[in-house]
C-alpha cells in the first residue's frame, strides 16, 4: 500500500454526534449505478421503471435535485469518486478502454478514499466495476481496498463476464477468478455477505453496479460477448430489458438495506446512491439536454440520494449544487479519518448540509472532455467547444434547466466572466499533469 501522508485536522461533525452518540464511526455504503439517467428511476420521475427500494431511500432520506458526476463518462467520474479531485488532475480524462488502454490506470501515487479511511481503522471493500486500470497492479486491493470482487473493464457480458474484446474479466482480489451468475446479483450477494461478516467493525463498502450499462441483458437473456471476440454486432436491447436491468439492481439495493436492518446497522450506516454519468441509448435524462459524454446537463446531472435513519430527516429534498468528488471529504469526516497532506482536493464536506440542512457556499463546477467544456456558477452555465474555448453558449439553468435557449448574446459580460473562470481552471488542473490516455 502506498505511504499516506496525512494531517489530523478532521473531527466528526458535532451535529452527527449529538443526534447519534453511538455512531462516532459509522459505516458507509456507496452504491454507484452505471449510465443511469436522471429520469430513469421512480423518485426522479420515471413512470415505467419501478424502483421501490431506491425510492424508499429518497422518501426516508435526502434526495438531491442538482447532483453531478465529475465526468460525463465512466473512468473520469470514478477517478473523482476515488480521489476527491477533478479527473483532469489525475490524468484520467477519458474512457480506459479494453481495446487500447490495457497498460494504464489510476496512478498509484493518488490517494484514494479507501486508503484514507483504512488509515483510520476501517475495513474496506469494493464489489463490481473498477474501470481504473486493467493490470493487476492497478487493482482496487492495491488502492486501499481490503476486498475486491468484480470486473475491471468498462463493461462485461452480464453472464459470461467477458470484456469488450472477449477477455475473461472477473476478479477476486488481483487474480482472475471466474464465477457463475448474473453480474448484478453477484455484486449484491457479495455486498450482503460482506456486511454480515463485518457487522461488528466500521466499514466502507462500494457497490459499483454495471446496470444499466450495455450489453443490455436481463437475468435470462443469452450471452452477447464471445471469447476472443467480445461483442458481436451492436448492443442488443429493448426498453423492456433496460427496465429489468434497473429493477434487478433496485431489488438488490433492497437486499442491502434489509441486511443492514437485520444486522442492527441501519442507524449506524450512511448509504449514498448515485450514477456515474448520464444515460446512454435506452435511458432517460428526464428532459435534460444531452446524454452520456455530453457536457450539457443530461450528461452529468444524475440521481443522488443520502439515507441514514435517525440522522438524516426523512423526505428532505436539496437543490444545492453538489458533485461526486464531494463524497471524499464527506466520508473522511464521517470516519474521523485524516485527509491527505499536500494534495489539492476539489470536493467539499457535505455533512453539515446532509445532517442539518446548512447552506453550501457558492462555487463554480467544471466539466471537460473531447466533446466540450463547461463551467457552472450558480444559475448560469457556460458551454464551449473542447478546443480553444470556441463558440461559447450561455444558459440560465434556473429558468431553462433543459438548456434550450442560448442567452450568450444578451449577456456578454457574464460570458466573458465565466470564460475566464473556465480558462483559469483548465490551466490549473492540466498544467504539468501527465495524461494517461
- The residues annotated with a catalytic role in the active site are 74, 131
CA atoms within a 13 Å half-sphere pointing along the CA-CB vector of 117: 31
DSSP character at residue 127: E
Q: Return d(Cα 185, Cα 304) in angstroms, integer.
A: 22
Half-sphere exposure of 190 toward its Cβ, with a 13 Å CA cutoff? Answer: 24
Q: For residue 404, what is its C-alpha cell?
A: 434550450
Q: Are strands 322-323 and 316-318 parallel, antiparallel or unpaired?
A: unpaired
119 neighbors 201 (Cβ within 8 angstroms): no
Neighbours of 427 (CB within 10 A): 9
Q: Is 342 helix (H, G, I), strand (E, B) or coil?
A: coil
What is the greatest pairwise CA distance in the chain?
60
- Say which residue the cell 474479466 belongs to: 169
Burial (0-12, 13-18, 19+ Cβ within 10 Å), 22: exposed
Q: Answer for the pair 33, 249: CB distance below 8 angstroms, yes or no.
A: yes
Helix, strand, coil shares of the chain, percent, nearest 5, are 30, 20, 50
Q: Cell numbers at residue 97, please?
A: 478502454
CA distance 182 to 243: 16
Shortest CA distance to 170 belongs to which of 183, 234, 76?
A: 183
Angle of CA points 37, 85, 92, to nearest 5°: 75
Amino acid at each position: 500500500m502506498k505511504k499516506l501522508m496525512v494531517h489530523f485536522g478532521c473531527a466528526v461533525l458535532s451535529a452527527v454526534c449529538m443526534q447519534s452518540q453511538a455512531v462516532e464511526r459509522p459505516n458507509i455504503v456507496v452504491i454507484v449505478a452505471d449510465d443511469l439517467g436522471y429520469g430513469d428511476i421512480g423518485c426522479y420521475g420515471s413512470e415505467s421503471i419501478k424502483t421501490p427500494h431506491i425510492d424508499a431511500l429518497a422518501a426516508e432520506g435526502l434526495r438531491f435535485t442538482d447532483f453531478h458526476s465529475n465526468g460525463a463518462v465512466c473512468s473520469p467520474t470514478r477517478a473523482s469518486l476515488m480521489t476527491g479531485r477533478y479527473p483532469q488532475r489525475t490524468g484520467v480524462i477519458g474512457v480506459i478502454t479494453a481495446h487500447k488502454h490495457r497498460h494504464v490506470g489510476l496512478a498509484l501515487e493518488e490517494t484514494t478514499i479507501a486508503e484514507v479511511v483504512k488509515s483510520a481503522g476501517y475495513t474496506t471493500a469494493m464489489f463490481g466495476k473498477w474501470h481504473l486500470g486493467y493490470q493487476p497492479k492497478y487493482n482496487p486491493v492495491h488502492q486501499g481496498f481490503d476486498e475486491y470482487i468484480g470486473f475491471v473493464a468498462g463493461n462485461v457480458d452480464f453472464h459470461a463476464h467477458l470484456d469488450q474484446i472477449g477477455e475473461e474479466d472477473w476478479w477476486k482480489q488481483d487474480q482472475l477468478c471466474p464465477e457463475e451468475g448474473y453480474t448484478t446479483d453477484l455484486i449484491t450477494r457479495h455486498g450482503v455477505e460482506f456486511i454480515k461478516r463485518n457487522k461488528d467493525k466500521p466499514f466502507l463498502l462500494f457497490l459499483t453496479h454495471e446496470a444499466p450499462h450495455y450489453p443490455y441483458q436481463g437475468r435470462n437473456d443469452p450471452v452477447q460477448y464471445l471469447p476472443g471476440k467480445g461483442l458481436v454486432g451492436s448492443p442488443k436491447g429493448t426498453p423492456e430489458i433496460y427496465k429489468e436491468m434497473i429493477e434487478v439492481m433496485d431489488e438488490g439495493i433492497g437486499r442491502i438495506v434489509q441486511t443492514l436492518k437485520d444486522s442492527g446497522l441501519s442507524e449506524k450506516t450512511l448509504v449514498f446512491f448515485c450514477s456515474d454519468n448520464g444515460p446512454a441509448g435506452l435511458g432517460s435524462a428526464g428532459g435534460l439536454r444531452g446524454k452520456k459524454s455530453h457536457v450539457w446537463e443530461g450528461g452529468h446531472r444524475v440521481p443522488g440520494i443520502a439515507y441514514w435513519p435517525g440522522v438524516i430527516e426523512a423526505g428532505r429534498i436539496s437543490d444545492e449544487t453538489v458533485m461526486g468528488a464531494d463524497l471524499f471529504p464527506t466520508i473522511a469526516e464521517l470516519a474521523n479519518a485524516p485527509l491527505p497532506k499536500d494534495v489539492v482536493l476539489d470536493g467539499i464536506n457535505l455533512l453539515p448540509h446532509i445532517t442539518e440542512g446548512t447552506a453550501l457556499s457558492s462555487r463554480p463546477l467544471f466539466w471537460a472532455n473531447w466533446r466540450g467544456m463547461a463551467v457552472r456558477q450558480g444559475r448560469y452555465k457556460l458551454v464551449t467547444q473542447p478546443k480553444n474555448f470556441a463558440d461559447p453558449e450561455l444558459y440560465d439553468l434556473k429558468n431553462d434547466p433543459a438548456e434550450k435557449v442560448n442567452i450568450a448574446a444578451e449577456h456578454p459580460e457574464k460570458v466573458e466572466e465565466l470564460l475566464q473562470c473556465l480558462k483559469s481552471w483548465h490551466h490549473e488542473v492540466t498544467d504539468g499533469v501527465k495524461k494517461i490516455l
